[in-house]
Structure 1
Amino acid sequence: MALPTRLTATYEAGNAWLADSSAHPELTRGLWDADALAPIPSGDVWLVAESRLVTGMPALQRIYADQRGPVLADGDLDRAWWLVPLEAAEELADVRELKVHPAGWSLLCPAMNSYVNGRFWLNRPDGSGLLTDPAGLAAAFGPGGYRRPAEAFG
C-alpha cells in the first residue's frame, strides 16, 4: 500500500536531512535502500544524548512539539537517542539519565519509514533541522517534567 503524498514528502525530507548530516550521503541512502542501518557520525550538525527507552518515552511526551527533535529508539536494547544541538553537552552534563556522546560518535540509523534490527524513529526528522531543546530535555527527565515559563503564555 502506498503512503499518502504528505507523509511520503515528510519521510523524504527527513531522510534527505539525515543523509546530508553524514559524510557520505549516497552511501547512507544506499544502505537504507538495502534496509540496513547507516552509521551517521555526530558532531557536524548535532550531538546524541542517550537515555533508556523506558524513561525516554514519558520524557518525550513532556517536551512541547516545537522543542522536540528527532528521537531514535531501540526496544531490544531499551535505548533512545535524542538529536540535540552541538552546544547541548554542557547543559545536559548534570542529567543523570542522559549520556551525551562526543562528536564523531556514530549513530546507526534506519530510514524514516523503516524498522531495522529493532530500531525505529519515535520522533522522525522532518527535514527542518529541528533538534531537541536541551533545556526542555533536561527538565523532562526531572521531577514533574518540563513546564514553560509564565512569560511564554503572553
Structure 2
Amino acid sequence: MAPSTMRSANGYEGGDAWLADCSAHPDLVRQAWGVEALAPITTGKRWLAAEVRLVATISAMQRIGTARLGPILADPGVDSSWWLIPPDTADDLAGIRQATVQPAGWPLLCPPTGWFQCGRLWLHRPDGSGALNNPTLLAAALGPGGGHRLPAEAFG
C-alpha cells in the first residue's frame, strides 16, 4: 500500500509511470512526489524541453489543436512553459525566438501528471504512450512573427 502522503490521481498512473521512467532514478522521482515536491527529471534521455512564455504557449496550443499536442508543463508564476520534444529535434526550433531548447542534462522540475504542485501543472499531460510534441508544428505555431500558418495538410 502507498504511504498516506502519496497522492494518486485516478487515470494518471500511466503518465506518472512514463514520466518517472524518463529519469535515471524513477524511485527518487516517486519519493519526491510522495512528499508533494517537484522531481528533477533530466532532459536528453527521452526528450528535450523547449521553453516558451506561457502566453505564447496558450496561443500555440490553440493553433496546433489538442489532438496534436504532447506533454506541456507550465509554471504561471514565472510565465514559462516547457514543451517536451524528441531529443534529436532541437534544430527544428533554431531561429524561433519564442522558444529556447534546453540542453541535454538540464533538470526539469516536474509535478506528477494529475496535480498542481509547487506552482506547476501539466497543461497537456503525459499519457504514458511516450508521445511528444512535434517541433515543426510548434515552430509554425510560434513562428518568427508570432506564428505563421502551415498549409492544412501539414496538420493531417
Query: 1:30, CA displacement in angstroms?
Result: 0.8
The CA distance in 2 between the partners of 1:19 and 1:31, in whole Å, is 10
Q: Which moved more, 1:106-115 or 1:143-152?
A: 143-152
What residue ranges of structure 2 are gaps of 5+ in the alignment?
A: 1-8
CA contact (8 A) 1:59 1:145 kept: no
The change in CA–CA distance for 1:146 and 1:30 in structure 2 (over 3 A counts) is farther
Q: How does 1:1-154 map to 2 (within 5 A)?
A: 8-9=10-11, 11-142=12-143, 143=146, 145-150=148-153
Secondary structure of the residue aligned to 2:74 is: strand
Could you tell me how far 1:151 is from its partner in structure 2? 7.5
Does the CA-based 8 Å contact 1:35-1:114 persist in structure 2?
no
Comparing 77-86 with 144-153, which one deviates more in the overlay?
Answer: 144-153
Q: Please, which runs of 5 or more residues in structure 1 have no aligned partner?
A: 1-6
Q: Which amino acid aligns with 1:8?
A: N
Give the conservation status (yes or no) of the 8 Å contact 1:67–1:131. Answer: no
Q: Tell me, what secondary structure is at the counterpart of 1:130?
A: coil
1:4-47 residue CA offsets vs partner (Å, 9 max, x unmatched): xxx723x1000000000001001101111111100000000000
SS in 1 for 2:138: helix
1:148 Cα offset (Å): 4.7
SS at match of 2:78: coil
Q: Percent identity?
A: 50
Distance 1:13 1:58 in 2: 28
Shift in Å, 1:66: 4.0
TM-score, length-scaled by structure 1: 0.88
Q: Deviations over 1:57-76 (max 9, x none)?
A: 11112113343110000000
Letter in 2 for 1:82: W
User: How many residues matched?
Assistant: 146
Q: Matches of 2:155 and 2:133 in 1, distance apart? A: 18
Cα RMSD for the two superposed structures: 1.7
Question: Aligned in 2, Cα 1:71/1:152: closer, same or farther, shift over 3 Å?
Answer: closer
